[in-house]
Structure 1
Amino acid sequence: MEEPKSEKVVGLDNGIDQPSNEAEHEFYVDPVKEVKLLAKLDLAFTPVIMLVYLSCFLDRSNIGNVKVARILTDINATNSQFSTAVSIFYATYVTFEAPAAIAMKKVTPRVILTTLCLVWSLTTIFTGFIQSIGGLYATRLILGVCEAGLFPCLNLYLTMVYRREEQAKRVSYLFSCTALSGAFGGLLAYAILQMDGVSGVAGWRWVYIIEGIFSTVIAVVVFFGLPNDPSNAWFLSDEEKEMMRFRNAQRKQYLGSEEFSWEEICIAAKDPKVYMSGAIQFMQDILLYGFSTFLPSILKAMKYDTLQSNYLTIPVYIWGALVFLCVAFFSDRWSMRGPMVIFANIFGIIGYILLLTVKQNGVKYFATFLCAVAVYVGPGINLTWLNVNVAPHYRRAAAIGFQQSMGNTAGIVSGQIYRNSPYTLGNAFSLGALCLSQFLILGKIFYIKRENAFKEAVRAGKKSDKRKVTTGDRDVEFMYHI
């Protein structure tokens, strides 16, 4: 094939031009040097992104760790009121997700992420001083406002750095932090609860105070660690910055314009993919929030004591993180999303069936490992599935915000279904959500295959394209990942 005369070359040793499938302009990036560039980006961004999300989920889910301590007695709360405190967080959380994602580029990633992190850190510290259930309600509502923007913004930030076929692995880092925060949270809570009575302060109060201080330090790391423009990060050499610009040029259709557009927001609001993804995310998040918040309580219902019910969560969460990293690797390699979630959900279905039917605690504990596979793989890969199939930037920002708002309303449900030991209602509801999710995923796969077939027919001249929107991901050259 004749080499294009307009081609520009970066990092070329003796390679052959292999332009990206997303390229509208013919730029070449040497694949060997690109691997080194990606490794450098991962080493720079991944620790910061993982730390901030770790601290976020730690401050959100530690309410599950302190429940098995003395918090209910100290603030004169009932189990029902405590469940309301868990759920009320999501009232503000789901409200502010879409606005935060849309505003990120305008406000700049550094400013919005640092501010959110700092405010929720202070809120966590103040939670250690509450005296009533009303105080817990107030801090949970504020926490929901601040944490609402974090995940959509971090997720959107990743799409500014990585190609479509590189994203599942990076999103897996975020959801691995969800799992690791459970492991680290259980370990940290186990250690901090030993401080019960130190300076006349209850152990559960020390959990909030110390974890809040930790998050405050992370806010400083975020400010200095995440540049507003990843393609011009201070740690990149001139050649690497040029490679980043060429990578962005190759996927210009995916990134889109820097200018805000209400039209793109409206297109996202009418996109069937967003609502199908949101419905799947809702089902998967019922597991995520129920499991990650109430696992210590589920274990305590198996007759483990307070400390055991915290440290026994650690291997379960670590297992969930490792499995997700493995699944995400193959998801990117094969550009396959939906079938990976279906596969992971099978393990979760078996796990919840065991929790509901067996009596032996050892088997029940093993079942939590099976559940963890679906708990973390499902929401993460499903979100990646939406990430890679929506373009350009502002359409994607709105889609991510809308999807997360729909999915995270599951947090309200999870707080209500896990009310009383042995949590039969919560586990049965989670099992039902998993089964329904399988059918929703199959439906979305069918829809995407139909859309891809239509685009192929238009390109082949077999059908005429009468759609009103033919830009971004609606372009006939833009093929959706299954």
Structure 2
Amino acid sequence: MSTMLDLKTAATESGVAAADDTSGHLANTEIYIDPEMEKRVMRKFDYYMLPQFAVLPFVLFLDRSNIGNARVFGFEESLHFKGNDFGNVNTIFYASYVVFEIPWVMALKRWGANVIIPISFVCWSLVTLGTGFVQNFGQTVALRVLLGVFEAGLFPGLTFLISTIYSREAQAMRVAILYAAGCLSGAFGGLIAYGIQTMGEQRGLEAWRWLFIIEGSISVVLCGIAWFTLPKNAEVAWFLTPEEREMMQKRKMRDILYKGDDEFSWNYAKMAFKDVQIYLAAACAFASSIPLFGLANFMPTIIRGLGYTSYQANYLTIPIYLFSTMTLYTGAWLSDRYRRRALIAVCGTLPVILGYAILLGTDNVGAGYFAMYMCAGGIYIYNTVLYTWLANNLKPDYKRSVGIPLFASLSNISGTVSSQIYPSADGPRYIMGSAVSMGMEVVALMGTVAIYFLLRSRNMKKQKLINEGATTNEKDGDKALDFEYIL
């Protein structure tokens, strides 16, 4: 029986020799690449890039979520917040965040990671530092808007960069590093906040102000280094030898059926905006990001509501984030190893649903704290695999450069919801926050099943055409006959 990969026969008959590569797409056999050299170069990318994929998101999540740590030791009282002002401050951050994701990633594709990412990094670090000097609600809102503008491109930008370097089967573990950085930043954020809180007032400034000043100053230095360490793109990376750069150029030509070429066309943007796969994935990510952002911004508040002190609330987040880092890597490894994105994603939603059910069903302190492990342990797995799954199934690069941030911007609208579901009046148990989070995780579970059947249906329709002898379905990108979706 014919398969999608049997299209190489038709390609050969038309004058283009083709063969399979490990990503499940067609490749030109006229281009020979030494497999040992390719492995060596990929290890080189891991050596130079993975530390940056860890450090940069680490400081991003640290600078984004430190407002949650600041809240438990006087941030609201010092700035005379009223009602749900704290939730509104977080909402306005996401409102600006979602608007700028697509422009940042398209700029990255156009001008290179070595220019665009450091610009956004240094600017948001300066904004974080400036937050330590705000005096009222209005100033806080203004800086959170700017923080959203400058942070917007990092996560989808780095995910896009990973998708241009690594094969589809190797991407989940790399994307997991971005989310693991978020987990670890939560752990270290709690530790740093606890240490700064013990400083008390220094030089006339409250402890929460020092939290922003110290973390912002560190971020400026770390992010500034990215000017010199990030490559423009995979083919001209500064750490490659001329021979290795030539090999990467050949590799790009070999993989052109999956990744596409560098010739821009607005048609690629239209393809992204018209693809229902992106909107389904965004709906799932919207739902799952409500508990994700809720935990990132309110975990110390939730733990304090269980009956712990403000000091305890900060350092008790540390083991939760360490546990979620371990489960995240396990899930990402299984997803890459067995090429099963949907199954691992579904498994990630189940402990989250159960964890919030426990928070809703009992006010027992120990059970509530255990439930936080279940929630954090599943949330990061799900979002990592979903992000990777979408990146795997978009072609070519320019469609991906629009599709990934479009997905991210739509899903990050959830930040405006998550910021409102833990009002101070709902303490100490925050029933509404747990109920909404559990319900949204159920939606994410059902949406994942829908994506699976959508992509499975597309693969089956292509396979039917191939079995009937077709060599083309007159479609472009990932919808073309030669592309097989990862399930």
What is the TM-score of this pair, normalised by structure 2? 0.92
Matched position secondary structure for 1:24: strand
Aligned positions, number: 468
Residue 454 in 1 paired to residue 461 in 2?
yes
Residue 160 in 1 paired to residue 130 in 2?
no
Partner of 1:13: none
Residue 212 in 1 paired to residue 219 in 2?
no
Residue 473 in 1 paired to residue 484 in 2?
no
**Mapped partners of 2:309, 2:361: distance in 1:** 22
Larger mean CA deviation between 417-426 and 458-467 belongs to: 458-467
Alignment of 1:232-243 (within 5 A): 232-243=236-247
Larger mean CA deviation between 326-335 and 271-280 belongs to: 326-335
**Mapped partners of 1:393, 1:370: distance in 2:** 36
**Mapped partners of 1:478, 1:466: distance in 2:** 11
Matched position secondary structure for 2:27: coil
Deviations 1:363-403 (A, max 9, x none): 11111111012211111111111100000011111111110
- Which residue, out of 336, 339, 344, partners 2:340? 336
Partner of 1:311: 315
**Mapped partners of 1:472, 1:464: distance in 2:** 15
Partner of 2:414: 410
Segments of 5+ residues of structure 1 without an aligned counterpart are 9-16
Deviations 1:140-193 (A, max 9, x none): 001000001111111111112111111111100001111111111111111112
Alignment of 1:77-226 (within 5 A): 77-226=81-230
Structure 2 contact 25–484 (Cα < 8 Å) conserved = no
- Which residue, out of 386, 391, 409, partners 1:387? 391
Residue 434 in 1 paired to residue 438 in 2?
no
Which residue identity lines up with residue 24 of structure 1 in the other structure?
A
Structure 1 contact 346–374 (Cα < 8 Å) conserved = yes
Residue 244 in 1 paired to residue 248 in 2?
yes
**Mapped partners of 1:219, 1:371: distance in 2:** 31
The offset of 1:18, in angstroms, is 7.2
Residues 80, 162 of structure 1: alpha-carbon distance in 2 compared, 3 angstrom cutoff: same
- Which residue, out of 38, 41, 49, partners 1:45? 49
Partner of 1:423: 430
Partner of 1:11: none
Structure 1 contact 256–393 (Cα < 8 Å) conserved = yes
Structure 2 contact 472–480 (Cα < 8 Å) conserved = no
Deviations 1:222-267 (A, max 9, x none): 1111110223323223443344233322311222121221110001
**Mapped partners of 2:65, 2:283: distance in 1:** 23
Residues 7, 270 of structure 1: alpha-carbon distance in 2 compared, 3 angstrom cutoff: closer
**Mapped partners of 1:79, 1:288: distance in 2:** 23
Deviations 1:33-92 (A, max 9, x none): 444332221120011122111111111111100000111111101250011001110110
Alignment of 1:302-381 (within 5 A): 302-381=306-385
Deviations 1:113-149 (A, max 9, x none): 1111111111111100011011111110010000011
The offset of 1:326, in angstroms, is 1.2
The offset of 1:463, in angstroms, is 7.4
**Mapped partners of 2:382, 2:188: distance in 1:** 21
Residues 346, 272 of structure 1: alpha-carbon distance in 2 compared, 3 angstrom cutoff: same
Structure 1 contact 355–367 (Cα < 8 Å) conserved = yes
Residues 32, 108 of structure 1: alpha-carbon distance in 2 compared, 3 angstrom cutoff: closer
Which residue identity lines up with residue 467 of structure 2 in the other structure?
A
**Mapped partners of 2:285, 2:453: distance in 1:** 17
**Mapped partners of 1:249, 1:135: distance in 2:** 50
Structure 1 contact 195–202 (Cα < 8 Å) conserved = no
Which residue identity lines up with residue 403 of structure 2 in the other structure?
A
Matched position secondary structure for 2:370: helix
The offset of 1:103, in angstroms, is 2.0
Partner of 2:28: 25
Matched position secondary structure for 2:28: coil
Which residue identity lines up with residue 335 of structure 1 in the other structure?
R
**Mapped partners of 2:21, 2:453: distance in 1:** 29
Which residue identity lines up with residue 415 of structure 2 in the other structure?
G
Segments of 5+ residues of structure 2 without an aligned counterpart are 1-11
Larger mean CA deviation between 227-236 and 335-344 belongs to: 227-236
Which residue identity lines up with residue 372 of structure 2 in the other structure?
T
**Mapped partners of 2:21, 2:348: distance in 1:** 34
Larger mean CA deviation between 379-388 and 250-259 belongs to: 250-259
**Mapped partners of 2:459, 2:468: distance in 1:** 14
**Mapped partners of 1:258, 1:464: distance in 2:** 25
**Mapped partners of 2:440, 2:135: distance in 1:** 36
Which residue identity lines up with residue 429 of structure 1 in the other structure?
V
